[in-house]
């Protein structure tokens, strides 16, 4: 399956937003004098999982649109598998001593925050019903 340019572009934007959020989080840890390698590893684990989750969601939605007969099944299965993967990542972040728990969890909140900021800045405009143009 070919990855659409819009999905690539939005994934890059989400990735940049997550990196900016990570930088702020790491700065807060540094200001609180709590910064250590577990924070960096936690941020890396959480960020990879969060951006990967966004990309997987977009990829599966793209696939579901190509197969309208199975759309509901594909979306439901994707959601279940992605949530299980996210829970697995959080469990790894909680159990292993190499990761700071907060630094693992915070990046999961950043894609949504990034989308809200992009809307405020006018970088993201959801298509309206009936709008056939591809302006993603």
Please state, in angstroms and rounded to a whole number, the distance separating the CA atoms of residues 15 and 44.
12
At residue 63, the pLDDT reads: 83
For the segment 2-13, the average pLDDT, to the nearest whole number, is 92
Other C-beta atoms closer than 10 Å to the C-beta of 136 total 13
Tell me the pLDDT tens digit for each residue of 56-101.
999 988 888 877 788 888 888 889 999 999 999 999 999 999 999 9
Classify residue 12 as left (phi > 0), alpha (psi -120 to 50) or beta.
Answer: alpha
At residue 129, the pLDDT reads: 58
Tell me the pLDDT tens digit for each residue of 17-34.
999 999 999 999 999 999
The yes-or-no verdict on residue 114 having pLDDT over 60 is yes
The yes-or-no verdict on residue 43 having pLDDT over 90 is yes
* CA-to-CA dists, residue 102 to 11, 44, 108, 122, 127, angstroms: 23, 12, 10, 30, 35
In the numeric block, which tokens belong to residue 16?
Answer: 């940049």
Position of tokens 């790491």? 26
At residue 12, the pLDDT reads: 95
In the numeric block, which tokens belong to residue 31?
Answer: 């200001």
Q: The pTM is what?
A: 0.84
- Provide the pLDDT confidence category of residue 135 given band limits of 50, 70 and 90: very low
For the segment 40-67, the average pLDDT, to the nearest whole number, is 92
Please state, in angstroms and rounded to a whole number, the distance separating the CA atoms of residues 15 and 118.
13
At residue 128, the pLDDT reads: 64
95 Cβ contact partners less than 8 Å away, ≥ 6 residues apart: none
Backbone angles phi, psi at 43, to 5 degrees: -65, -40
């Amino acid at each position: 399956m070919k990855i659409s340019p819009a999905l690539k572009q939005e994934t890059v934007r989400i990735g940049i937003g997550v990196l900016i959020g990570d930088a702020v989080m790491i700065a807060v840890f540094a200001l609180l004098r709590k910064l250590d390698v577990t924070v960096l590893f936690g941020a890396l684990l959480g960020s990879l999982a969060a951006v990967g989750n966004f990309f997987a969601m977009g990829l599966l939605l793209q696939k579901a649109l190509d197969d309208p007969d199975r759309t509901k099944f594909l979306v439901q299965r994707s959601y279940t598998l992605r949530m299980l993967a996210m829970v697995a990542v959080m469990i790894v972040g909680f159990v292993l001593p190499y990761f700071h728990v907060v630094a693992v969890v915070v990046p999961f909140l950043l894609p949504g925050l990034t989308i809200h900021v992009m809307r405020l800045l006018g970088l993201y405009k959801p298509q309206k019903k009936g709008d056939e143009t591809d302006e993603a």
